[in-house]
Chain A
Amino acid sequence: MSVKLVIACLLVARLALADDGSAAGSDAGSDVGSATGSAAVEPPPSPAEMAERIDDQEQRVRTLESKARVTESFNEDVGKLRWLPRFLTVFVDVGGFAVAGDGSGIRSDLGHVYYPKYAGRIAGQWVFMGDPLSTAINSLGEPADASDSRELRADTIHSKGRPSLIVNTVGLSIGKYLGHDISVSALAEVLPRPGDTLLDVPLAHIDWRPLSTVDLVISAGKVDSVLGVEYRSQDAPRRLGVTPSLICRYTCGRPLGAEARLVEGRLSLSGGMFASDQFDQRFEPKLELHASNLPTVAGHVQWMLPVGQGLEVGVSGAAGPQDNQPSASIAQWHVGLDAQLRDLHGWDAVAEYVQGLQQGETMSVPCDLAPCLTYKGAYVLVDRRVNDHFTPYVRVDWRSAVHQHGTDFVYESHVARATIGAHFEMTNTILAKIEYTFNHELDGIPQFADDILTTSLVVATE
């Protein structure tokens, strides 16, 4: 989100700058023009007149020079301000969706038919096959129904398979430059849901730009993830499609921590120390602060290649103690590869691969003291900007993960999906999107009805 804000601010500032610049320029130009114009029609001046005029001209030059100095210093100020003036954006994301089956992406392995290895240890009901988030219907990644999921406690939409209209998000993003190269910004979201209206503050951070010559931002608070690239366009107004990929849950979190982002020529670097992993906290069972004894460190390196408008390839990673665990020796790690191509003959593409582990801890039954998770996943998203208004896209994503917790549950998630969709930019403030996702269970899991048709209409103030 902060990237979006920064870009928005840059645009606003640039416009402001351009206005001021052209105004100053035309002022000066008309002055000069009228001077030369009058000179052309008048009869040859006397020497005294000449001297007077020269004085006059010198006076004008001085005035202009001082004006130019003022403009220059003003420009300097604007330049400083450019990265973050005061802003306030409101957006509303409404949608409609229909999901096959009961709206959930999981089924239980009743009778231990498909995963007999859990028989006698984890109740068949709690051996979940499929992906609980694979029936996501909005940019937040909320599934149409969480069904009997034991990990995913909040069944926020709980459609039970019925098609429905929904106000996905009412978002308010605010920011202010405080002086001394410091600014603050935050994103607050109201999520009106059938059960409860939820209020979320996914982002709230202080940014500091210590150097005027280098594009470096240091942020602290509830900040953006540094893993991969999908987090940059995860909110409805910035997202090309309607729903997140299957791996967004690992990379789109907004952890508490401190991070630095640097762009230098073709190189982009970001990294930080965080109080948790970069998982999307919306889907974590406990929402309280989870302070571990040691921080998680994470970083991302990206290099821009001259393909199209730029092909960025990157590597990211994170390591630290597993969240919500008493012992810092229970580790977790994550690695990811990403590539993002912009505008090659009108085509854009993004691809990411991630892999990671949460070690967990066992006393008597596997992973009873701390849950264990292993995951791999990837997606490729290709879009074609047909004209200023219409961008169709195709995404293929895949995730293979095993998440288990003692006798409580195990998720055997092995899913591939294909999504086709269209993005309509009606005006710069109104977006409409529609997409259809085919869900396909892998690893011998039976195919069940869980395809999704979902739409989103996003209206934002400028």
Chain B
Amino acid sequence: MLGWRYRVMWRWVCALVVVAGCWSDDPLVDGELTAAQLAHFREQFHHTAFDPCALPPGVDCNKAAQLGQELFFDVRLSDSGTGSGSDYRPSAGTGKTSCATCHDPNGYFIDTRMPNSVSQGQTKWTRRNAMTLLDLQLKASLTNRFTWDGSYHTAGDVLTLAITKAMSAKTANVAYYLQHEPQYATLFWDAFGMADPYEGAKLAFDAYLYRLAGESPFDAYVDGDDTALSADAKRGFGVFVGRGTCVECHSGPALGDFVPRNTGVAQAGSASDAGAGSADGDPADLGAFVTPSLRNIAMTGPYMHAGQLASLSAVIDFYRRGGDATSFPGTKDPRMVALELTDDDARDLEAFLVSLTDAPVDASLRQKLCPAGSGSQCP
């Protein structure tokens, strides 16, 4: 028999339980994030609508994009030549390389020739890994750091690097063909009117490159479609923003904030590339490279500024061990520490990275345009 004292006590117990009931728990979404955290990431990774005409006013962006696309496939831009200024004359038929050589439109705009360092072997211009040209409009809306060391400020600016180094040609080549190839001259006039040919060419490349964009399953997930990602990829997203700490640097709608950082990737071979440190002269940036976007990452290997890592799983292993221990200039970012990731985490993370792959851009943007009268350049 319970005495009155017990009954009094139970009243307290009940009161406590009721109070405790008010302390309700905030359930986790997919076992990883609170609702507030998921909402935060959905906002962070959401990208603004794509604008097919992101050019200065007064420019006919369709004509400019068409011109850009034609130039992109034109190996004549790598012709060698003689003379300078308005006396410049290219030697016809010497050019072998176009932008498409190293930015293969059917290979997510990277250098698909294996190994990737072929671009170095054939052209002797850089020790660096060719970057994808997808989602450059998004990149341009977020940063002015182009190339691995961030020393070029627009996609079009890279034209100088491409022509003079990648293609071992002279920038005067571009102006020459814009003026002497009738089809280019017409397009140029329609797009820009009276303008400096080389500046116009930069804008033409921008106009074309900015159209190379797509949507990935991850974008659908970010926009609220919970079924767009597999369970593995969702868990991998949890790892990406959680235990993997990837989001500390690969943040924002591009999954990369384009800030130069030193992750401690061992240099390839005997090369020594100081990265942003040699570009901006800031010793703090020694060995730092621009944190790249991870959009389309599964399609754009090998990885890192010199293609040091062949596969995504090699990249994940690299981060699991906290980067390489030696053979890189400068000091590693303090956040590059060994991670406590399980093999399952690593697999899930890879599944997530795969979900960042855009549907291929429209075929009409991936091919050489052959309008009537384009002559020898079109088979």
Which residues of A are at the interface with B, using a C-beta cutoff of 8 A? Answer: 100-101, 107-108, 110-111, 113-114, 120, 123-126, 148, 365, 384, 386, 392, 394, 406-408, 418, 420, 438-440, 446-451
Contacts and interface: CB of A to CB of B under 8 A. Distances in A.
B83 interface: no
Contacts of A392: 9
Nearest to B24: A447
Contact of B33 (A110, A126, A365): A110
A448 B37 CA distance: 13
Contact of B26 (A108, A111, A120, A447): A447
Contacts of B242: 108, 110, 124-125
Closest 3 A-B residue pairs measured CB to CB? Answer: A123-B245, A438-B20, A446-B26
A438 B23 contact: yes
Nearest to B32: A110
A408 B337 CA distance: 9
A418 B18 CA distance: 12
B243 interface: yes
Given A110-B242, A113-B40, A448-B25, A407 B34 contact: no
B23 A447 contact: yes
A125 B246 CA distance: 10
Most chain A beta-carbon contacts within 10 A, residue among B41, B44, B243 = B243
Given A111-B44, A113-B36, A407-B335, A449 B5 contact: no
B16 A418 contact: yes
Given A110-B241, A113-B37, A420-B16, 15 more contacts: A108-B242, A111-B41, A113-B36, A123-B335, A124-B242, A125-B242, A125-B244, A126-B245, A386-B6, A406-B334, A407-B334, A407-B335, A418-B19, A449-B25, A449-B27
A124 B25 contact: no
Contacts of B245: 123-126
Contacts of A111: 37, 40-41, 44, 241, 247
A125 B9 contact: no
A26 B23 CA distance: 65
Interface string B1-21: 000011001001100100110
Nearest to A107: B34
Given A111-B41, A111-B44, A123 B248 contact: yes
Interface residues on B, range: 20 to 34
A114 B35 CA distance: 12
22 contacts: A110-B242, A111-B40, A111-B247, A113-B34, A123-B245, A124-B242, A124-B245, A124-B247, A124-B248, A125-B244, A126-B245, A148-B340, A386-B5, A394-B16, A406-B334, A407-B335, A420-B13, A438-B20, A447-B26, A448-B25, A448-B28, A450-B25
Contacts of B20: 418, 438, 451
B23 A124 contact: no
Given A113-B40, A123-B335, A448-B28, A440 B23 contact: yes
A392 B245 CA distance: 46
A439 B12 CA distance: 18
Contacts of A439: 23
A447 B25 contact: yes
Contacts of B16: 394, 418, 420
Contacts of B337: 408
Nearest to A150: B340
Interface string B29-47: 0001110110011001000
Interface string B229-248: 00000000000011111011
A125 B37 CA distance: 12
Contacts of A110: 32-33, 37, 41, 241-242, 247
Nearest to B9: A392
Nearest to B13: A420
Contacts of A394: 12, 16
A126 B243 CA distance: 8
B357 to A, nearest CB: 23
A158 to B, nearest CB: 13
A438 B32 CA distance: 22
A111 B248 CA distance: 8
A446 B34 contact: yes
Contact of A446 (B6, B9, B36): B36
A406 B337 CA distance: 13
A37 B25 CA distance: 82
A13 B245 CA distance: 61
A441 to B, nearest CB: 9
A197 B73 CA distance: 68
B25 to A, nearest CB: 4
Interface in B196-217: none
B24 to A, nearest CB: 6
Most chain B beta-carbon contacts within 10 A, residue among A101, A125, A148, A420 = A125
Contacts of A107: 34
Contacts of B26: 446-448
A124 B244 CA distance: 10
A111 B25 CA distance: 20
A148 B243 contact: yes
A392 to B, nearest CB: 6
Nearest to B245: A123
A446 B35 CA distance: 10
A380 to B, nearest CB: 14
A420 B18 CA distance: 13
B241 A124 contact: yes
Nearest to B248: A123
Contacts of A120: 248
Contacts of A108: 242
Contact of A125 (B6, B27, B243): B243
Nearest to A449: B25
B330 to A, nearest CB: 15
Nearest to A386: B5
Nearest to B333: A407
B151 to A, nearest CB: 23
A449 B247 CA distance: 25
Contacts of A418: 16, 19-20
A124 B340 CA distance: 15
B47 to A, nearest CB: 17
A418 B19 CA distance: 10
Most chain A beta-carbon contacts within 10 A, residue among B27, B243, B334 = B334
Contacts of B248: 120, 123-124
Contacts of B241: 110-111, 124-125
A449 B335 CA distance: 29
Nearest to B12: A394
Nearest to B33: A110
Nearest to A113: B40
Nearest to B22: A440
Contacts of A440: 23
A110 B41 CA distance: 9
A319 B335 CA distance: 34
A217 B348 CA distance: 60
